[in-house]
Amino acid sequence: MITVKQAKMVDYDDVERFYSELIESMRDAEFKPEWEVGVYPTEQILKDAIKEKALFLAYLENDLIGAMILNHDCEPEYDSVKWQTDAKEDEVMIIHLLGVAPAHQGKGIAKQMVSKAIEMGKNGAIIAIRLDVLKKNTPAAKLYISMGFQYIDSVKIFYEDTGLADFQLYELIL
């Protein structure tokens, strides 16, 4: 069982190292996240997430094995689709940068992290959780579908690391 805690600024070096190691170790993986060290996530993205109390870290004993950002920020393309609910921005939680250390992938860690996000949403004033997944990231899509997320639509989104790419949008009504 993992422990999920909110990141603090003193955790920044560990967080930066976690994402850098994750990106480097998955460079040749079949289903890589397409993130680039220094491009996405940037130092600014991670530090802002810590300041906004939106970065969450997953630990197995004392080892940092996962991270994710939970906030209300979505890409403009999210507005171009018909969601299941017309929730206001502050009633929707968006999952960003969910990553698990390669040595711990396939062990249900991501599922536990998403479960924690769902629990946090239910304990807040959140009506829905939304996210985007690279169209070719089949394992991530399967994970979200297995947890009750509904496929909503496919859109092209520009991110600094991927350029303009096809993403699938998913939503879970709480």
Nearest CA-CA partner of 59 in 19, 113, 131: 113
- In angstroms, rounded to a whole number, what is the distance separating the alpha carbons of residues 111 and 140? 10
Task: Out of 1.10.150.130, 3.40.50.2030, 3.40.50.11540, 3.40.630.30, select the CATH number for domain 3-173.
Answer: 3.40.630.30
User: DSSP H helical segments within the chain, as ranges?
Assistant: 12-25, 43-51, 109-123, 138-146
Quick one: pLDDT at residue 39?
83
- Between CA 126 and CA 20 the distance in angstroms is 31
User: What residue spans define the domains of the chain?
Assistant: 3-173
Pair of tokens at residue 43: 């130092």
Q: What is the pLDDT of residue 159?
A: 86
Buried b (16+ CB within 10 A) or exposed e, 71-95: beebeeebeeeebeeebeeebbbbb
Predicted confidence at residue 29, as pLDDT, reads: 74
Entry pTM: 0.94
Q: What is the pLDDT of residue 33?
A: 74
Residue owning tokens 């999952």: 95
Taking the chain (174 residues) in consecutive chunks of 10 residues, what is each chunk's mean pLDDT? 96 96 85 79 96 98 96 95 95 97 94 97 95 93 97 94 90 98
Distances, alpha carbon 148 to alpha carbons 14, 15, 126, 143, in Å: 32, 29, 16, 9
Return the pLDDT at 55: 98
